């Protein structure tokens, strides 16, 4: 998302929404190939660890299945992490045999595809194909949705941003994880298809989103010049409860029309700090 957002920020669409940067975008994606390859390598590693964790849930000793260690009578202490573990290629079959938490065959087919690409990148220095962002999004979204069906992607993404090296600079006033996210959120909701968004968040693309007033203020989005409409991370659970996918909090709301003339919002805050503040335009 960061790679995509970098381009969209420098080459925004025309006022009338026409995209006149198609050639430039293609050129940019060409120069992203090394990073796309890194993404595939990390995805392969992440998928492998996720499968190993499912095996571990049953018993960590299953991880050394088929790689019998040789013991000596004079053996010094052995460290479990030094044992050779199951080959990546065998992991899908082991997971679907020993775990109650089986993964669909399509997951394993994509896992195999990613693993082969990674091997080419590692052993030959290049994947031998040009990666397209849409194809990567399709692959990564499907893998994530199968591994983590709880649909907490925004919260996971937020936690990830809060733990990168840049998080060292998050002072909560002029720099924050939310400020990093706000630059990518629009790209996320426009680049992914409705079914992809639904598989990650539980809601289709056109489901109305609202501002979480707490996250908006805690992340100091205003200090970065961000408008509440650019940071909508909450969905209505029912008529009077809003659930923010970033902070995972639920807030009671009043269903009254926003007093602002040009705002059609009808979801107002009820907390002490945000009593009567509109969850659509952010104005009191």
278 binds Zn ion (CB under 5 A): yes
- Contact flag: residue 260 with Zn ion (CB under 5 A): yes
Pick one of 212, 213, 236, 268: the residue that binds Zn ion (CB under 5 A). Answer: 212
Helix (H), strand (E), coil (C) string for the chain: CHHHHHHHHHCCCCCCCCCCCHHHHHHHHHHCHHHHHHHHHHHHHHHHHHHHHHHHHHCHHHHHCCCCCCCCCCCCCCCHHHCCCCCHHHHHHHHHHHCCCCCCHHHHHHHHHHHHHHHHHHHHCCCCCCCCHHHHHHHHHHHHHHHCCCCCHHHHHHHHHCCCHHHHHCCCCCCCHHHHHHHHHHHHHHHCCHHHHHHHHCCCCCCCCEECHHHHHHCCHHHHCCCHHHCEEEEEEECCEEEECCCCCEEEEECCCCCCCCCCCCCEECCCCCCCCECCCCCC
- Which of 247, 253, 267, 268 is the binder for Zn ion (CB under 5 A)? 247
Shortest distance, CB of residue 269 to Zn ion, whole angstroms?
A: 11
| List 181, 185, 258, 267, residue binding Zn ion (CB under 5 A) | 258
Query: Is residue 176 a contact residue for Zn ion (CB under 5 A)?
Result: no
Which segment (15-23, 105-113, 157-165, 247-255) binds Zn ion by CB under 5 A?
247-255
236 binds Zn ion (CB under 5 A): no
Which one among 92, 228, 265, 269 touches Zn ion, defined by CB under 5 A? 265
Q: How far is the CB of 233 from Zn ion (least distance, A)?
A: 6
- 213 near Zn ion (CB under 5 A): no
Q: Total number of residues binding Zn ion (CB under 5 A)?
A: 12
Q: Which is nearer to Zn ion, 62 or 246 (CB)?
A: 246
Binding segment (CB under 5 A) for Zn ion, from list 54-62, 173-181, 202-210, 255-263 = 255-263
Q: Which residues bind Zn ion (CB under 5 A)?
A: 212, 215, 244, 246-247, 258, 260, 263, 265, 278, 280-281
């Amino acid at each position: 998302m960061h790679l995509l957002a970098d381009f969209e920020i420098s080459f925004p669409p025309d006022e009338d929404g026409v995209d006149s940067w198609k050639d430039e975008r293609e050129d940019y994606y060409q120069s992203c190939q090394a990073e796309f390859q890194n993404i595939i390598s990390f995805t392969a590693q992440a998928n492998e660890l996720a499968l190993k964790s499912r095996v571990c849930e049953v018993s960590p000793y299953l991880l050394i299945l088929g790689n019998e260690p040789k013991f000596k009578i004079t053996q010094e202490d052995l460290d479990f992490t030094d044992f050779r573990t199951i080959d990546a290629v065998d992991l899908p079959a082991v997971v679907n045999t020993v775990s109650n938490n089986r993964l669909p065959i399509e997951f394993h087919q994509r896992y195999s595809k990613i693993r082969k690409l990674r091997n080419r990148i590692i052993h030959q220095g290049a994947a031998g194909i040009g990666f397209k962002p849409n194809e990567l999004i399709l692959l990564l979204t499907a893998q994530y949705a199968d591994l983590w069906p709880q649909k907490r992607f925004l919260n996971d993404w937020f936690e990830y941003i809060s733990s990168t090296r840049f998080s060292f600079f998050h002072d909560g006033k002029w720099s924050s994880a939310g400020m990093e996210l706000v630059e990518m959120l629009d790209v996320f909701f426009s680049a992914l298809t409705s079914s992809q968004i639904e598989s990650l968040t539980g809601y289709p693309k056109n489901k109305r989103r609202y501002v979480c007033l707490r996250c908006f203020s805690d992340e100091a989005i205003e200090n970065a010049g961000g408008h509440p409409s650019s940071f909508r991370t909450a969905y209505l659970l029912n008529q009077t409860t809003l659930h923010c996918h970033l902070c995972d909090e639920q807030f009671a709301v009043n269903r009254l029309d926003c007093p602002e003339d040009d705002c059609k919002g009808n979801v107002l805050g009820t907390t002490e700090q945000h009593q009567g503040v509109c969850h659509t335009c952010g104005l009191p």
